[in-house]
Amino acid sequence: TLPDLVYEPRYKSRFACERYSPLICPNQDLVKELHIIKLAREMESEERSALSYSRAISAIKAFPEKIKSMSQISDIPYLGDKLTGMIQEFLSKSTISQARQLSSDTRYQTLISFTSVYGIGPHTARHLYDLGLRTFDDLSRYLGSDDNAEGSGGSFAWREGLRLRDELSVKIPRAEVEEMGRLVDNALQDILPGSESTICGGYRRGKLESNDVDIVFTHPQGQGNKANNMIARLVERMRKDGLITHTMHAPSVRSKGSLRPPTNHDGWDTLDKSLTIFNLPKTSPYYKGIHRRLDLIYAPREVYWTAVVGWTGSTMFERDLRLWAKQKGLKFDSSGITRRRDTKALYATSERDVFKLLELEWIEPRLRNA
Ligand code: TTP
Ligand code: MN
Ligand code: MN
Ligand code: MN
């Protein structure tokens, strides 16, 4: 038989992990407009609707040419009647009326600004909005009044989040991300020589500016999920050096001495991690006195490359990696790949090997901006 000579463009795939998704696509203006509607759905916790928009946006990101007529889009997956109508509107007016309405809507604007406070999600933001709060000043007055009903734990975290909000909303340029990576690696080599670390997240996908820094690390002898509390030791070391000022989530500390198995606490993976607030030393040439968000993730040696793939993202790419794996009889998350029928663990020896095990064609990090 003849080989299949019909070239199937990748953008047609229903799986983001098969498509090439550049950081900036030819239809970026359309994507921006749809993104507003998606965010509005997220703010209202309309998860299904938000996911439909995410899927459509992600599919459009992989389309290789500028959309000029409706005839071009028939092969793009996830474009139902509603989305098709919006694209039609965009082609004639260069805007989408629903997106325009939303961007000038007080509720939308307020919910977006409240969720920009670390620790405040859509649910809390809606609650605060319903109490009549509209500005950060309203929010600080409310938190300061001590007659709020949120309980001390919640309001303490928000107060810190609010205090740091302006700093944490400043994006991090690549050079500073790299400086942070060096400082983390130095600390790591001090406590455990021979450790290895990779800066993942948006930085690895080529973003010029990141919202935070995600670093996955391991050690050649590191086995088991906790591996001598590597996360706790690294965080403690960096705290002593003044590099880390806050830790928001540290499962290793909470479950210290506990015999419970690792839990899939955040719905992502079971890896040991700490979500921290980082501060460059004054001696650094990049020092600007701005706190940064830093996520540290420890991966046992045998799942290091799976963790690197899992934390490189994008979120849609990760979501579809999980669905793709399922369809192949496998289970994928950052903490490992397992075969479903016998729960046998499959270990990858490189990033490319992760793709190979999943029977996926290689896609470089910069094309994973799904
Ligand atoms: P994020 O840091 O949330 O996002 P990002 O790095 O893509 O973009 P930026 O920080 O500039 O806003 O997450 C990094 C990747 O890690 C994300 O694409 C999916 C994955 N991830 C997890 O595996 N577990 C988690 O708990 C989160 C939040 C993300
Ligand atoms: Mn938030
Ligand atoms: Mn990130
Ligand atoms: Mn992160």
CATH number of the domain where residue 33 is located: 1.10.150.110
Task: Give 160's pLDDT tier (boundaries 50, 70, 90).
Answer: confident
* Site of tokens 């909303």: 169
- The confidence score (pLDDT) of residue 119 equals 86
pLDDT at 277 over 60: yes
| Nearest protein CA to atom 16 of ligand 1, as residue | 311
Q: How far apart are CA 338 and CA 353, in angstroms?
A: 14
Residues with CB under 5 A from ligand 2 (ion): 115
Residue 3: inside a domain: no
Same domain, 197 and 301: yes
**What b/e readout covers 146-161, taking b as 16+ CB neighbours within 10 angstroms?**
eebeeeeeebebbbbb
Cβ-count burial of 300 within 10 angstroms (0-12 exposed, 13-18 middle, 19+ buried)?
A: buried
With a 6 A CB cut-off, is 268 part of the ligand 1 pocket? yes
What does the mean pLDDT of the chain come to?
Answer: 91
Residue 4: inside a domain: no
On whether the CB atoms of residues 199 and 241 are closer than 8 A, the answer is no
Residue 1: inside a domain: no
With a 6 A CB cut-off, is 313 part of the ligand 1 pocket? yes
Average pLDDT over residues 281-300: 97
pLDDT at 151 over 80: no
pLDDT at 56 over 60: yes
Residue 44: inside a domain: yes
The two structure tokens encoding residue 231: 């996360």
Task: Give 145's pLDDT tier (boundaries 50, 70, 90).
Answer: confident
What is the distance of C-alpha 110 from the center of its chain?
23
Could you tell me the distance, in angstroms and rounded to a whole number, from the CA of residue 261 to the centre of ligand 3? 27
Could you tell me the distance, in angstroms and rounded to a whole number, from the CA of residue 94 to the centre of ligand 3? 31
| Nearest protein CA to atom 6 of ligand 1, as residue | 201
Residue after which a domain boundary falls, among 307, 322, 348 = 307
| Nearest protein CA to atom 26 of ligand 1, as residue | 268
Q: What is the pLDDT of residues 204-237, one digit of tens each?
A: 999 999 999 999 999 988 666 666 789 999 999 9
| Nearest protein CA to atom 13 of ligand 1, as residue | 201
Q: What is the pLDDT of residues 103-132, one digit of tens each?
A: 999 999 999 999 999 889 999 999 999 999
Same domain, 363 and 242: no
Domain count, the chain: 4
- The confidence score (pLDDT) of residue 173 equals 98
- The confidence score (pLDDT) of residue 225 equals 62
Same domain, 255 and 301: yes
Q: What is the pLDDT of residues 88-104, one digit of tens each?
A: 999 999 999 999 999 99
Same domain, 211 and 278: yes
With a 6 A CB cut-off, is 54 part of the ligand 1 pocket? no
- The confidence score (pLDDT) of residue 255 equals 37
ipTM reported for the complex, 2 dp: 0.93
Determine how many CB atoms are found less than 10 A away from the CB of residue 44.
15
Task: Give 257's pLDDT tier (boundaries 50, 70, 90).
Answer: very low
Task: Give 143's pLDDT tier (boundaries 50, 70, 90).
Answer: confident
pLDDT at 36 over 70: yes
Q: How far apart are CA 166 and CA 202, in angstroms?
A: 20
- The confidence score (pLDDT) of residue 159 equals 83
Q: How far apart are CA 326 and CA 316, in angstroms?
A: 15
Average pLDDT over residues 31-55: 98
Same domain, 86 and 113: no
**E strand or H helix that includes residue 346:** strand 345-346
Which residue range(s) make up the domain with 349? 313-367
Residue 5: inside a domain: no
Helix (H, G, I), strand (E, B) or coil at 213: strand
Find the CATH number of the domain harbouring 320. Answer: 3.30.210.10
Same domain, 196 and 217: yes
Instruction: Enumerate helices (H) and strands (E) in the chain, giving the number of each.
Output: 15, 10
- The confidence score (pLDDT) of residue 231 equals 94
Residue to probe by mutation, ligand 1, list 177, 315, 354, most atoms within 8 Å of CB: 315
Work out which ligand 1 atom sits closest to the CA atom of 211. 11
Could you tell me the distance, in angstroms and rounded to a whole number, from the CA of residue 328 to the centre of ligand 2? 34
Q: How far apart are CA 226 and CA 246, in angstroms?
A: 21
With a 6 A CB cut-off, is 311 part of the ligand 1 pocket? yes
| Nearest protein CA to atom 27 of ligand 1, as residue | 268
Residue 54: inside a domain: yes
Q: What is the pLDDT of residues 319-360, one digit of tens each?
A: 999 999 999 999 999 999 999 999 999 999 999 999 999 999
Residue 2: inside a domain: no
- The confidence score (pLDDT) of residue 260 equals 40
- The confidence score (pLDDT) of residue 144 equals 79
What is the distance of C-alpha 253 from the center of its chain?
23
With a 6 A CB cut-off, is 211 part of the ligand 1 pocket? yes
pLDDT at 253 over 60: no
- The confidence score (pLDDT) of residue 263 equals 55
Provide CB contacts within 8 A for 46, sequence distance 6+. none
- The confidence score (pLDDT) of residue 279 equals 96
Work out which ligand 1 atom sits closest to the CA atom of 267. 26
**Strand 209-210 and strand 172-173: pairing?**
antiparallel
On whether the CB atoms of residues 298 and 272 are closer than 8 A, the answer is yes
* Percentage of the chain modeled with pLDDT above 70: 89
With a 6 A CB cut-off, is 214 part of the ligand 1 pocket? yes
Same domain, 295 and 209: yes
Average pLDDT over residues 276-296: 97
Work out which ligand 1 atom sits closest to the CA atom of 202. 6
Residues with CB under 5 A from ligand 3 (ion): 201-202, 212, 214
Which stretches within 116-242 are classed as H helix? 122-130, 136-144, 151-168, 174-191, 201-204, 230-240
- The confidence score (pLDDT) of residue 148 equals 62
Provide CB contacts within 8 A for 173, sequence distance 6+. 208, 209
- The confidence score (pLDDT) of residue 235 equals 96
Find the CATH number of the domain harbouring 131. Answer: 1.10.150.20
- The confidence score (pLDDT) of residue 261 equals 44
Tell me the backbone φ, ψ of residue 156, rounded to 5 degrees.
-65, -45
- The confidence score (pLDDT) of residue 92 equals 98
Of 123, 336, 306, 348, give the one whose Cα is nearest residue 216: 306
- The confidence score (pLDDT) of residue 108 equals 98
The two structure tokens encoding residue 46: 């309309």
Same domain, 196 and 300: yes
Residue after which a domain boundary falls, among 102, 127, 159 = 102
Residue 25: inside a domain: yes
